[in-house]
Structure formats: structure tokens, C-alpha cells
């Protein structure tokens, strides 16, 4: 049996053993049985407990070995100290999937973690998959599988198009209950607990291709396996299904607290945020925003653009929504002439036929006013999503439900009702009609933005891997700081524009190199032990006469020996002074969760203060690189300020994208890479200084292995430096 | 009768005439009568309509002249074209207050606006105050005055501690209904409509000193009279009552839409935001946040600091709340030793006794665990507000209500329950117990932050006006750009440190001035017609020899004549080169709504891109100036980066505060003022360049008049330039 088969058995079991089943159906170890019976699970239920001959009319096995069959799934609800033996016995009995409720493992400290590891090792020996431990279990609402003791299952759990996987039991239960309150159906509700074996990504992956599922929603407290999350996001994209995530720990202090709570590896939130958005994940800042987004995404109509049309009963509400739309990246298009003409026909004189359309409260007397206005608005080619805002109208529920049904039937675009202080009956009836209702204007707009972003991402082309860049991928590597000449050559060969640099063998050679360049040069100390040259006074700029070059050469060697007596000195680098009016910082680093990420920022002192940088997971294409540049708060500097010429963003994006490909290919070796500064002048961007450090990684299954390399030889000095 | 008496009669009428009253009680002109009767208004109701001898058993006057008494209040519910005649007739009958429902005025265009002005003029001739037109009217729930046709009055409107005044009828009704849903009571609900006479501030001012009112809440779409809003905010501060405002039109595009809707003067939102916060107003970004804040502020316990203590059932929810707390300026203090010891006694082993305290779900079995943990948390001296987070617990409502009541009784600090997916019964019962409940963690934290900010503002000292600064207030003024020497002298006399500057009569004089200074100088062209000297090549820096000074003098005059042939040239300024490693921009401008505001920002090209500036209404003290500096995103630059020394923030704040006093005193004349740059060096900040423009204002009742000036003569050159 493959792991996939075992996981399939976990989620869609034809038989369920309950180890430690209690006859007290309100207790944790009694509740799954209660739910399975009450809600009509059609498979075989096999309680295991030596205390009872039977429970609720079902024959009860005295121990695991006596189970009448190797159940597809075992629920383990015994004290922590008995879990290891139970798992072993289940494995021997041929059971290949278990959900472990028991707590007292990794969440309690090192001892618990050891026990947890022993349980996982045992399960793996038997080819068994585990959900948990320390979890509330899961619900597969389609097949009425209630392998859970969550309070959520106390209520109605009718299936729906959402798969919800949560690392937190308590918060996840709350979110599930809120989803139910909004009439959102969960097809799957899964609590991962300690993720000793199956983690968030693998569990979500196991349910996302169910055709009844339209949206994936996750609640995260920590993340260890970034590659798996990226694969999941790519899978969701391929399926055309949105993935919505809420992750706590946005702030530095929050991350500390999360680490102490879940023991999960803290991931720097800025990198997390950048990477998941890169892969089309929709991030919800909290549970309410997640549910708002789910409402928009669980309805079947896609957004074919980001044009928002608003019809409102209150000018102020329209302004508030228009403001929010601007903030979240939706456009509020001017309406076309045909739309305006139609609105002028149907609108009252004191309404407003712009966007937002202000229909005022007159539609109470003339319902067709609202219907025709909104149908006209949605009919505008620049409008891709519609929102109708209204309030109270307790006495007009019938009329309004009829109006909204008519609008739905006369347009094929997604539209949402925002009904503030809506009567409960209206919510119920619109829900039953499949019409999405929000309780506040800004919520509706944010949800619309999520739908638009998903649509935009679906229309994006898949990444075309740049094969040419592999020419620049080196071989015959050694750890440590790489020589500047070599590093420069590799990057140049990969298409990353670099300022040529040469190593002078001695003072005379330095002079010869300067003469060959024929204009002002910089001299820099070169040593595998000195990564920050300026800190040891290791850079002299703007030299353009022989005496100066000679003096600088001597000075650099002397200063380096003084500042870093133990450093091995390779000599002095000679480099033409680069021109450029704009200074950027570009770098790559190995994120512990996601692997190689590329960073870009504007250089200079103020940037240090603002931390105005953006990140992407490598590799990425030039469109993504343009998006990185667009994220910089000071990005307007790129377009020229105070008479400075603008820079060519496409050239810069090309540099970033090619670098990202190279960096991705170098994943197994590259530890860090800094191009600081990258100077941008009239002839485009050019990396001037380069610090490249290799540190070969042990085998890490999370990161993709290095692609096959072309048989290129190492570049020589002649190829690169003049 | 004074205006105040008339307004008192409006809000607290002993008799109400209804002009245009209808016997159909569901119509707009029938609904006030229905509400007054149903809800038991104790005063006299006097319908006016020639069609009926009586309505609902009340005698009906055929016309206004026949009213049996001069009612304290008249409700005018007739078509727009009849309003003017009605107001005039009411005035003749001795009525001194009216609420005008009728629409068809300023909101429809210039013609409507003209009619509106005629109505106001008529009312003012009679000494009558008006609410409206184009409004839903108002509710005084204490006295059961329902001068409204709002849907809000269809439901329960039991009075409570909140006064809510709204410029929007539809949105305001929605907010009122949402407040009711949350169990928040409105003592007053007032819709201002077109604000032809009484505006938001005056109406709020008329109810805020009612001792039954604890909180003022407002919804704004536009603002014309900034001074009135500031007075209202000051009044609220004096009364110790928070003022919460939601104003739409945060974004530039939103402001346009608001202007087209309400016809109100658009106010730049950044200035609005800065000024209202300066005066202690709490701004809610939308209606949901407003209601969250009102829940926190309507309960009676103040926050004596900004320390937040959180107890939670979910570690993840705790992290999310801690993140939000950091973002909104609350601290999450480390708990004291005594608290930790107490928590260790009562907590389960796998909970967390830090802050947030994770009490897990164990309190279901052991309720005292939750009670004792939260009481210990609230007992910590560093904790000023507590939040308890939990979810669902449908089966444990009794226990939990009992626990929360006990916590309330054992602590005198404010604490909020955040109960996600709470059973309706729990909400109802906690509400009845006066315990504040929120539905989401981040909401509870934001509301706690509002309570803390209000507490902080209440502890603030009132502004001490700096009398010394008046020494620098000039007299004998003329409009236009002021001579640099004079402007510099005025500001210096007001205590604003300025680099001395002198006007050279001719080339020889320029050389003499340079010699007297004895170090490098800058020469600058001086002309009342050239405000931006650099744009005409009018500045030459770092001159330190006679030939250079002479050449520069000639060049400046020549260039200016070429670039601006029509400009009157006063000569050339000579100024010692200023030292300073940090460059700021300081300015003052006349905001059309609030009057003089002072701005500070960090100078340089990147600041232009980031628009990193902060504003305050003048005058303000040094604490407020320090707060301005703290708001700068690049404020860290002030503390020194890359080896640069930090600057003395207090000195800089002193400059800003003194400047603010001077510009406030100069309100009637000052049009604009730029100190650009202000250079900060080792000896403190110094304004180097100054553009000061006067333009005497017509009488404007909104802005305070100039204080009496001391009899100081204009400074001479000798006093200022060397």
C-alpha cells in the first residue's frame, strides 16, 4: 500500500476502529462514536475497549489484535503513554492510517517530543500515516466521517465546497463554527495537531482535488516545510482552486509567542508573505477576513478583471467602499456611455449615475429602479464584480430577495450584496438562493479583491525556466567566500550584468590593468576571509594616475594586514569606476523554510531605516520581478525624481529574474549572495561588488536538487575582466 | 430667546408641531406621530394639515398660524417648494426650532442651494434654529422625542450612554441599528442632513454635557468648520467624555466622491486625521470599528495605562491579538513575579503562564482555573486592561457567565470577553450583566487600544500658551512675500532659531558682510517676486574669497534679470554657510478647514517620494511636537544612522512648538511659511532659508482673532544679521 493509498484510507475510510472508545458518548473518547452514529456514517464502526462487550449496540473488541478487520482508519483516544503500543498493535493488525487525539507529546517539551518521534518512527515502520497527535481529528462531511471530538460536530456540518485545514484545534473550531453561521459548508474540516507525520500541506493536498471542493482554506501557526506549501499552492493553481491562508505571527513579538506555543520553526513573516503571494495564495489577516474571502471564492462565478461597480443607498458608504477598493488594488472604472445612458433612464434625479451609483432609498417605492441600475452597472464591460450596499429594510425583505434573484439571473458576473443590519430572514433566504451577502461595505470590497486577485493569478502564464542561465552555473566547487573574479564571471555568464573586475598579481600588474582600462579605477582588497571590504578600509576609489594606483595598492595590503592579520590576502582587485545615478541592493539568501529567496531594495542610508525591500522565492520571471519593484515603497525613485532620469524597470527585472534562476540552480551550494551596490546608469544596471558564499548542504528532501549542468569550463580572467 | 435656548427647545421640546402631518402613519410625514404616540412622548403633539380635523385622536390645526401654541419644535415634512413659507409662518407663530425632513435643496445643485440659503436666512431672521433640511431628523430617547422618520425608530430605542450624530441618514440609520444589535443604547440619534444651519459640531455640543451621556460618536462625510470641531473636542476633553469619529473620504479619490455627494468642502484627510488626533478624538476607520470602540468606551471603567493582559484558550489567538496590540500601540507587559507565582499555582501543566496566558480548554472541567488565572492577570500592576478569548462552549454558558461575573466583581480594571461564535444566549446574558463582549480577537484589541488612548489623553496637561513668543509677532504689515531679513528677525524674536542673514546694498557691501562673517558664505538673490531662489539660479554656496563674492554678486543679479525680467530685485543676501548633518523641512500653511497647521518632514529627495511628513494644528506644545517627530516613518534618522550623531529631539520640538505659537498668532495674516531647509548640527537646529507670505484674510468667524501685540518695533538689520 502506498502512502497515498494510506492517506486515502484515512480520509475516506470504509471502516473505522476507535481505540479507547468510551460508552460515555459525551467524553472525548465517546464523541466520535456518537457523531458517526447520529450523523449516519455508512461504513463499519469498530470500537476497541476491554471494559465493554459492546458500545451503543456495536460489538467492542477487547484489544487491537482482536479487531475483526484491518480498519482503513483507527481513532486513537488513549492516554499519551499508551499511544506508542497502540500504534504498534495497529500496524501489526494491518491498519495503515490513524488519527491520534492524545495530547502530552511535543507540545509539552523535549520528553514529549521524544515520545512523539518514537510514535512516528513506529508508524513509519508499519507504513502507517498519522494525523496528530494532540489534535481534534477531522470531519469528511461528504462521507459522514467524524473522526473528531470537536465541538464543531455538535452542530450541523452539512458538506460544502470548502476544505478547511487548521493547525489549531480551538481556533480552528471557532472558524468552522463561524463558517457555519454564515451558511458556508465545509466539505472537510481537518485539525493537524502536532503534525508529527502528516502536515498541513500534505493533508490539504489529499483533499484538494475532490471535485466537490472549490476552495482551500488554512489556518497556520508555523511552517516547517516551505517546499511542500509551494507544491500545494502550485497544485491549487493547476486545479484553478484558490488557497486562502491565515497565519498568525505577523510581528516579531508574535513570532516568538508562536514558536513557544507550537514548537514550529518560526518563519520570517515578510518572506512568508512574499512567497505565498508569489504562488497565488490569498492571505487573510484574521479569521473574519478569511471567512469574507471564502464567501466570495466559494460562489461559482470568476472575476474576469479587477473592475468594481458599486450601487449604494448611501453616498457615504459608496465613498468608504471606493476608498477601500483603491487600497486593495481594485479599480473603480468610469462607466461607459451606454451604461450612463441606461442609468440616466432609470435613476431618480437626485441619485448619482457615476460609479458608485447612488440609487438612494427610492427603490422601496420603485423596485425596478434597483434592478435596472444594478443590471446596467454589471453590464458595463469595465465592471467585473458588482456590490450592492443597503441597510435594514426590514419591511422589504420579499421585494429585495426577488430583486437580487432577478439581478443574479440577468447577469453572469459575480455580484455581492452588502446588507448592513440585515434582518435574519433576508440572510437566510439569500443564502438559500446562493447569493453572497456581507455585513459591512469594507468586507465586501476586500472579498471582491480576493476574487479578483485569484482571477488574475489564474490568467498568469506558468514560469518559463530560463535555460540559458544554466551556462553560468559553476561546477568543481569549494565552500567559503568565492573569489570576486570567479563570482563575477559566473554571474556574467548567467546573464547578470556585472562590472568587470580583475585581480592584480602585484603593483605593476595593477598599474597595467589601470592603463588597459584607460580611465579612473577602484582598487579593492581581495581575501576569502574579508567579506566586508570597506570595514577594513579595503576600498580606494577614483584612481587615475600611476602614483595613485601604486600608493593605493600598497595601502590596501598594509591596511588589510593591520585590520585582519589572520586573513589570507589574494591580492588587489582593479575595476573600472562604474557610472550610475541610482544605487540598489540585490541579494539572495537561504530561507530556512522556503530555500533560496532573492531580495531587492533601494540602496543608501534611508533604506536601512525604512527596510524597504521586497522578496521572492527563486526562480521567478521578469513579470514577478517587476511586481517586486512595484512593491518598493520608494519605487517612484526608479522613475526619476528631482531631474534624475528614470531607470529601465524591464532591464532591472531581467537582472533579478536571471539572478533568481542562477540562485535556484545553485540551491545545493549557495549560502548567501550580495550584490551591493547594483548601480543603474544610462546603460542599465550593473552589479559592482559581489560577496558570494558557498556552503554545501546535506541532503535536504525539501529543496529541489540541482539541475543537470552543461559541460562548460570555468571562465578565465580574459573572458570577464576587460 | 438665545440660540442656545432655541437649540435646547429643539432637543428637549415640551411641545411638537408636525407641519404636513399625515394620517397615514407609515408615510414619512406620518411616522413621527406614530413613534411619538407608540413610544409615549409626554409633551404636546400638534399636527398641522388642512386636510384633517384630527389625526389619531389629536386635534389638527389647518395651518401654522392656527397652532394653539408656539411649539418648542416644529417638524417640517412638506415638499421642498413649501418649506420656505412654512418656516416663515413658524417664525411668525413664535416657533424657534425646526427639523426639516424635506429634500430637494443643496444636494440637488445650485438652484436647490439657493432655496436652502433662503430658508436659512428666513429662519435666522426669526431667531429660529434648523436641523436639516434633507435629514431623517432625530431621536432624544430620554424624553421619547421622535422627530424622525428613520427606520431605526421602528425597533427598540431604549436610551443609553451614547450620543450619535450622523451626517448621513442611510448609513447613520444602519450604524444605529448595529448599535442596537450589540445592546448599545443611544441616548441621542441625530441626523444633520444638509447642515444648512446647525452642523455636526453644534448639534453634538448641544447634547454632550447631558450627564447620562458617556460617549460621543459621529459619522462625517465632510467638514467645513474645523474650529467648531476643535472646540467640540476640547469640550469633550473637559467633560472627560471620548469623541469617536468615522469619516469617509480617506483617499484622494474618495474625497472627490464625497464632495460630489454632500457638497461639503473636502478636507485633506491627512490634515484632518492629524488634527483630530491632536485634540484627542478617536478615529474609527469604519462603522464596525466605531461600534467596537463604543462598546469599550461606554462601559464605566477607565484604562489607567496601556498594558494589555490576555488570557486565551488558543495559543494562536493569543499570538494574533499580541500582534495587533503591538500594531495599535498597546504594550503586552511581562507579568510580575507575584502574578507568575499565582498563575503557576492555578494553571494546568501544559498551559502557558506568560502574557498571553494560555489557559487551554481545561476550565470546562475546572472553572476556578479560568477565574483565578484572569483575576491574577488583572491583579498585575503592569496590566491595565484584560481580554479573555474563548470560543463556542455552547454547553457551558451558565458556568462561563458566572465566571465572568466573578472576575468583574473581583477586579476594578476594565476587562473584555472575546467570545468567538458565541451562543446568542451568552451574549444576551453578559450584556445584561454589563460585561463587554466582542466577536473577534483583533476587534477586542483595537477597542482596548481606544480605551487606553482615551485614558492617556485624559491624563494630558492642557496646552500652556507660550507668552514669550508674542514678542516676535510683527505689526505694520503688508501683503506678499516678506523680506528675508525681516522674516528671519521675526522668527528669531519668537524663539525660532534662524541662521542670521543680511542684505547687501551693493557689491562692496557684500564683500564687507563676508569679511565681517569671517568664513565661507552663501549669496542668494532677494526679491519679493522670487519665492524659489534655486529655480532661477539664485543661490551660490561656499564663497570664501573677495573675487568669488564679487563674481557671485554680479552673476546673481544678472541671472535673476534674465530668468525673471519683471521681478523687483532688492539686492543680494549674504549668509554664513550653515553646518548641519541632517536636513529637515518645516512649514506652515492655512488649511481651509482648520486654519494654521504646522508641518515637519525630513528633507531630501527620498522624502519627496515618501511624503513622510506630519502635521499639527497650531499652536501646540513640545510634547505634541515630539509626537509629530515620532510619527515620521524615517524618524530613526533623527537618532543617527551610519555613524552620524543623533539630534536632540527636544530642541527640534522646541523649534516646532515656538513656531506653532507664532503662526497661530499670525493667523490673520500668514498665508504660507517654509523653512527649507532646517539644518540640524551639533549646536541644534537652525532655519536656513525662509519663505514667508502674508495675505490678510477677510473677517472669518471660524478662526480666532489675533492676540494683542506687545509694542515692539520692527527689528533692524543690526539686531539680526551678525
Nearest to A450 by CA among A243, A625, A650, A250: A243
Q: Is A70 exposed, middle or buried (0-12, 13-18, 19+ CB in 10 A)?
A: middle
Q: Which residues 208-267 on chain B approach chain A with CB closer than 8 angstroms?
A: 219, 221, 248-251, 253-254, 257-258, 260-262
Q: Where in chain A is the domain with CATH 3.30.470.20?
A: 582-720
Q: Which CATH class is domain B303-458?
A: alpha beta
Contact between A636 and B249 using a beta-carbon 8 Å cutoff: no
pLDDT at B260: 40
Report the pLDDT averaged over residues B600-618.
Answer: 81
What H or E segment, with its residue span, contains residue A418? Answer: strand A415-420
pLDDT tens for each residue of B294-346: 999 999 999 999 999 999 988 889 999 999 999 999 999 999 999 999 998 88
Helix count (H) and strand count (E) of chain A?
Answer: 23, 30
pLDDT at B700: 52
Nearest to B588 by CA among B689, B684, B692: B692
In the structure, what pLDDT confidence band is assigned to residue B363 with cuts at 50, 70 and 90? confident
| CA dihedral angle for residue A268, residue A274, residue A277, residue A279, rounded to 10 degrees | -90
In the structure, what pLDDT confidence band is assigned to residue B108 with cuts at 50, 70 and 90? confident
Contact between A609 and B219 using a beta-carbon 8 Å cutoff: no
User: Is residue A198 within 8 Å of A130, Cβ to Cβ?
Assistant: yes
| d(C-alpha A638, C-alpha A631), whole Å | 12
pLDDT of residue B709 exceeding 50, the answer is: no
A715: left (phi over 0), alpha (psi -120 to 50) or beta: beta
User: Is residue B663 within 8 Å of B616, Cβ to Cβ?
Assistant: no
User: Is residue B595 within 8 Å of B227, Cβ to Cβ?
Assistant: yes
Mean pLDDT in chain A? 89
Report the pLDDT averaged over residues A468-477.
Answer: 72
| d(C-alpha A389, C-alpha A318), whole Å | 8
Look at the domain A582-720 and name its fold. D-amino Acid Aminotransferase; Chain A, domain 1 (3.30.470)
Tally of CA atoms within 13 A in the half-sphere of B180 that contains its CB? 23
3-state helix, strand, coil in chain B (%, to 5): 40, 20, 35
pLDDT at A465: 65
Chain B hits for A609, Cβ within 8 Å: 634, 636-637, 641
Say if A103 is an interface residue toward chain B (CB within 8 Å).
Answer: yes
pLDDT of residue A385 exceeding 70, the answer is: yes
The CATH superfamily holding the domain A500-577 is ATP-grasp fold, A domain (3.30.1490.20)
Chain position carrying cell 443604547: B185
pLDDT at B364: 74
Nearest to A315 by CA among B194, B169, B111, B250: B169
For residue A333, the 8-state DSSP code is: P
In the structure, what pLDDT confidence band is assigned to residue A73 with cuts at 50, 70 and 90? very high
pLDDT at B698: 60
What H or E segment, with its residue span, contains residue B419? Answer: strand B415-420
Q: What is the CATH number of domain B3-296?
A: 3.40.50.261
pLDDT tens for each residue of A386-424: 999 999 998 899 999 999 999 999 999 999 999 999 999
Report the pLDDT averaged over residues B360-380.
Answer: 87
Tally of CA atoms within 13 A in the half-sphere of A693 that contains its CB? 17
The share of chain B scoring above pLDDT 90, in percent, equals 74
pLDDT at B158: 86
Which three cell numbers, joined as nine digits, stand for B301?
A: 471603567
pLDDT of residue A166 exceeding 50, the answer is: yes
Which of A264-273, A579-588, A636-645, B199-208: highest mean pLDDT?
B199-208
Q: Where would I find the beta strands (DSSP E) of A514-561?
A: 521-526, 539-543
Tally of CA atoms within 13 A in the half-sphere of B572 that contains its CB? 32
Contact between B421 and A181 using a beta-carbon 8 Å cutoff: yes
Say if A361 is an interface residue toward chain B (CB within 8 Å).
Answer: yes
Contact between B350 and A107 using a beta-carbon 8 Å cutoff: yes
Q: How far is CA B39 from the centre of its chain?
A: 36
Say if B442 is an interface residue toward chain A (CB within 8 Å).
Answer: yes
Say if B438 is an interface residue toward chain A (CB within 8 Å).
Answer: no
Compute the radius of gyration of chain B from its Cα atoms: 31
Contact between B248 and A323 using a beta-carbon 8 Å cutoff: yes
Chain position carrying cell 537652525: B686
The closest CB to that of B606, out of A154, A356, A606, belongs to: A606
Chain A hits for B642, Cβ within 8 Å: 605, 608
pLDDT tens for each residue of A324-364: 999 999 999 999 999 999 998 887 665 667 899 988 777 77
Least Cα separation, residue A260 to chain B (angstroms): 9
What H or E segment, with its residue span, contains residue A447? Answer: helix A441-458
Q: Where in chain A is the domain with CATH 3.40.50.261?
A: 3-296, 304-458
Q: Which of B171, B176, B444 should be substituted to probe chain A, the one whose Cβ sees the most A Cβ atoms within 10 Å?
A: B171
pLDDT at B350: 56
Chain position carrying cell 542610508: A605
Query: Which chain A residue is nearest to residue B643, measuring alpha carbons?
Result: A605
Least Cα separation, residue A244 to chain B (angstroms): 17
The closest CB to that of A420, out of B174, B253, B352, belongs to: B174
Contacts of B429 (CB under 8 A, 6+ apart): B397, B401
Q: What are the two backbone dihedrals, phi and then psi, of residue B704, each rounded to the nearest 5 degrees?
A: -65, 145
Q: How far is CA A596 from the centre of its chain?
A: 15
Chain A hits for B395, Cβ within 8 Å: 154
Chain B hits for A606, Cβ within 8 Å: 604, 606, 634, 637
Report the pLDDT averaged over residues A517-526.
Answer: 95
Contact between A608 and B254 using a beta-carbon 8 Å cutoff: no
Report the pLDDT averaged over residues B214-242.
Answer: 94
Report the pLDDT averaged over residues B437-453.
Answer: 97
User: Is residue B34 within 8 Å of B6, Cβ to Cβ?
Assistant: no
Which three cell numbers, joined as nine digits, stand for B99?
A: 427639523
Cα–Cα distances in angstroms (integers) from residue A54 to residues A26, A34, A67, B415, in the given order? 17, 14, 13, 49
pLDDT tens for each residue of B277-299: 999 999 999 999 999 999 999 99
pLDDT of residue B366 exceeding 90, the answer is: no
pLDDT at B722: 33
Say if B424 is an interface residue toward chain A (CB within 8 Å).
Answer: no
DSSP B605-617: HHHHHHT-EEEEE
Q: Where in chain B is the domain with CATH 3.40.50.261?
A: 3-296, 303-458
Nearest to A442 by CA among A633, A310, A335, A313: A310
Which three cell numbers, joined as nine digits, stand for B81?
A: 417648494
Contact between A350 and B151 using a beta-carbon 8 Å cutoff: no
Look at the domain A304-458 and name its fold. Rossmann fold (3.40.50)
Report the pLDDT averaged over residues A274-290.
Answer: 95
Report the pLDDT averaged over residues B592-616.
Answer: 83
Contact between A286 and B261 using a beta-carbon 8 Å cutoff: no
pLDDT at B582: 87
Which three cell numbers, joined as nine digits, stand for A718?
A: 580574459
For CA atoms B421, B425, B428, B433, the dihedral sign is negative
User: Is residue A72 within 8 Å of A9, Cβ to Cβ?
Assistant: yes
Q: Which of B149, B257, B424 should be substituted to probe chain A, the one whose Cβ sees the most A Cβ atoms within 10 Å?
A: B257
Hey, is B61 helix, strand or coil?
strand
User: What pTM was estimated for this model as a whole?
Assistant: 0.91
Q: Which residue has the higher pLDDT, B638 or A555?
A: A555
| d(C-alpha B185, C-alpha A423), whole Å | 19
Contacts of B57 (CB under 8 A, 6+ apart): none
B309: left (phi over 0), alpha (psi -120 to 50) or beta: beta
In the structure, what pLDDT confidence band is assigned to residue A669 with cuts at 50, 70 and 90? confident
Contact between B257 and A315 using a beta-carbon 8 Å cutoff: yes
Hey, is A572 helix, strand or coil?
strand
| Most distant pair of Cα atoms in chain B: their distance | 101
Which three cell numbers, joined as nine digits, stand for A373?
A: 441600475
| d(C-alpha B319, C-alpha A255), whole Å | 8
In the structure, what pLDDT confidence band is assigned to residue A667 with cuts at 50, 70 and 90? confident
Chain position carrying cell 544596471: A685
Nearest to A280 by CA among A464, A461, A467, A465: A461
pLDDT of residue A236 exceeding 60, the answer is: yes
Least Cα separation, residue B419 to chain A (angstroms): 9
Q: Is B539 exposed, middle or buried (0-12, 13-18, 19+ CB in 10 A)?
A: middle
pLDDT tens for each residue of A241-275: 999 999 987 655 444 444 443 333 334 788 899 99
Q: Where in chain A is the domain with CATH 3.30.1490.20?
A: 500-577
Which three cell numbers, joined as nine digits, stand for A24?
A: 460515555
pLDDT tens for each residue of B655-671: 999 999 999 999 888 98
Contact between A319 and B154 using a beta-carbon 8 Å cutoff: no
Least Cα separation, residue A94 to chain B (angstroms): 34
pLDDT at B384: 98
The closest CB to that of B257, out of A103, A248, A319, belongs to: A319
Nearest to A688 by CA among A700, A674, A699: A674
Contacts of A627 (CB under 8 A, 6+ apart): none
Report the pLDDT averaged over residues B396-409.
Answer: 95
Amino acid at each position: 500500500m502506498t502512502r497515498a493509498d494510506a492517506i486515502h484510507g484515512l480520509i475516506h475510510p470504509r471502516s473505522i476502529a476507535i481505540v479507547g472508545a468510551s460508552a460515555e458518548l459525551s467524553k472525548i473518547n465517546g464523541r466520535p462514536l456518537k457523531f458517526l452514529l447520529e450523523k449516519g456514517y455508512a461504513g463499519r464502526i469498530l470500537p476497541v475497549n476491554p471494559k465493554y462487550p459492546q458500545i451503543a449496540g456495536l460489538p467492542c473488541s477487547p484489544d487491537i489484535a482482536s479487531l475483526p478487520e484491518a480498519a482503513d482508519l483507527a481513532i486513537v483516544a488513549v492516554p499519551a503513554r499508551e499511544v506508542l503500543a497502540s500504534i504498534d498493535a495497529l500496524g501489526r493488525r494491518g491498519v495503515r492510517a490513524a488519527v491520534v487525539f492524545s495530547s502530552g507529546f511535543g507540545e509539552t517539551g523535549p520528553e514529549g517530543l521524544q515520545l512523539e518521534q518514537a510514535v512516528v518512527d513506529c508508524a513509519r515502520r508499519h507504513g502507517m500515516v498519522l494525523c496528530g497527535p494532540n489534535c481534534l481529528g477531522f470531519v469528511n462531511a461528504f462521507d459522514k466521517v467524524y473522526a473528531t471530538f470537536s465541538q464543531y460536530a455538535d452542530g450541523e456540518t452539512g458538506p460544502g465546497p470548502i476544505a478547511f485545514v487548521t493547525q489549531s484545534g480551538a481556533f480552528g473550531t471557532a472558524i468552522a463554527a463561524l463558517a457555519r453561521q454564515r451558511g458556508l459548508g465545509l466539505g472537510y474540516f481537518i485539525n493537524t495537531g502536532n503534525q508529527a507525520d502528516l502536515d498541513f500541506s500534505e493533508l490539504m493536498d489529499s483533499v484538494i482535488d475532490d471535485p466537490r471542493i472549490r476552495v482551500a482554506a488554512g489556518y497556520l501557526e508555523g511552517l516547517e516545510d516551505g517546499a511542500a506549501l509551494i507544491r500545494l499552492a502550485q497544485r491549487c493553481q493547476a486545479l484553478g482552486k484558490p488557497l486562502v491562508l491565515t497565519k498568525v505571527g505577523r510581528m516579531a513579538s508574535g513570532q516568538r509567542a508562536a514558536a513557544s506555543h507550537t514548537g514550529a520553526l518560526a518563519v520570517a513573516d515578510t518572506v512568508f508573505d512574499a512567497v505565498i503571494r508569489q504562488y497565488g495564495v490569498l492571505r487573510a489577516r484574521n479569521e473574519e477576513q478569511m471567512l469574507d474571502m471564502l464567501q466570495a471564492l466559494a460562489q461559482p462565478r470568476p472575476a474576469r478583471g479587477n473592475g468594481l461597480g458599486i450601487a449604494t443607498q448611501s453616498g457615504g458608504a459608496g465613498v468608504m467602499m471606493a476608498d477601500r477598493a483603491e487600497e486593495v488594488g481594485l479599480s473603480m472604472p468610469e462607466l461607459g456611455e451606454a451604461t450612463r445612458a441606461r442609468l440616466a433612464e432609470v435613476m431618480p434625479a437626485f441619485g448619482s449615475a457615476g460609479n458608485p451609483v447612488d440609487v438612494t432609498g427610492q427603490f422601496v417605492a420603485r423596485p425596478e429602479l434597483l434592478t435596472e441600475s444594478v443590471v446596467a452597472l454589471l453590464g458595463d464591460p469595465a465592471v467585473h464584480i458588482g456590490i450592492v450596499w443597503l441597510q435594514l429594510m426590514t419591511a422589504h425583505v420579499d421585494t429585495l430577495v426577488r430583486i437580487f434573484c432577478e439581478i443574479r439571473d440577468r447577469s453572469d458576473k459575480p455580484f455581492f450584496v452588502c446588507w448592513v443590519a440585515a434582518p435574519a430572514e433576508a440572510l437566510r433566504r439569500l443564502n438559500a438562493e446562493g447569493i453572497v451577502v456581507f455585513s459591512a461595505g469594507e468586507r465586501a470590497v476586500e472579498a471582491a479583491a480576493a476574487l479578483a486577485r485569484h482571477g488574475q493569478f489564474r490568467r498568469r502564464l506558468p514560469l518559463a525556466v530560463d535555460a540559458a542561465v544554466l551556462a553560468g552555473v559553476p561546477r568543481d566547487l569549494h565552500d567559503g567566500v568565492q573569489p570576486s573574479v570567479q563570482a563575477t564571471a559566473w554571474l556574467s555568464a548567467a546573464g547578470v550584468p556585472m562590472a568587470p573586475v580583475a585581480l592584480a598579481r602585484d603593483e605593476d600588474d595593477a598599474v597595467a590593468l589601470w592603463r588597459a582600462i584607460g580611465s579612473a579605477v577602484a582598487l579593492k582588497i581581495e581575501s576569502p576571509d574579508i567579506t566586508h571590504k570597506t570595514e577594513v578600509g579595503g576600498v580606494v576609489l577614483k584612481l587615475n594616475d600611476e602614483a595613485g594606483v601604486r600608493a593605493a595598492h600598497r595601502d590596501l595590503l598594509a591596511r588589510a594586514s593591520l585590520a585582519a592579520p589572520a586573513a589570507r590576502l589574494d591580492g588587489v582587485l582593479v575595476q573600472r569606476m562604474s557610472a550610475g545615478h541610482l544605487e540598489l541592493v540585490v541579494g539572495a539568501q537561504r530561507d530556512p523554510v522556503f530555500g533560496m529567496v532573492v531580495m531587492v531594495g533601494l540602496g543608501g542610508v534611508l533604506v536601512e531605516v525604512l527596510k524597504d525591500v521586497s522578496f521572492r522565492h527563486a526562480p521567478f520571471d521578469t513579470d514577478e520581478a517587476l511586481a517586486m519593484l512595484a512593491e518598493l515603497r520608494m519605487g517612484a525613485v526608479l522613475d526619476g525624481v528631482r531631474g534624475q532620469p528614470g531607470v529601465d524597470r524591464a532591464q532591472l527585472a531581467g537582472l533579478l529574474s536571471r539572478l533568481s534562476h542562477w540562485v535556484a540552480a545553485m540551491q545545493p551550494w549557495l549560502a548567501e549572495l550580495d550584490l551591493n551596490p547594483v548601480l543603474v546608469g544610462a546603460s542599465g544596471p550593473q552589479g559592482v561588488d559581489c560577496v558570494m558564499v558557498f556552503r554545501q548542504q546535506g541532503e535536504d528532501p525539501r529543496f529541489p536538487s540541482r539541475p543537470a549542468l552543461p559541460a562548460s569550463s570555468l571562465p578565465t580572467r580574459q573572458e570577464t575582466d576587460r
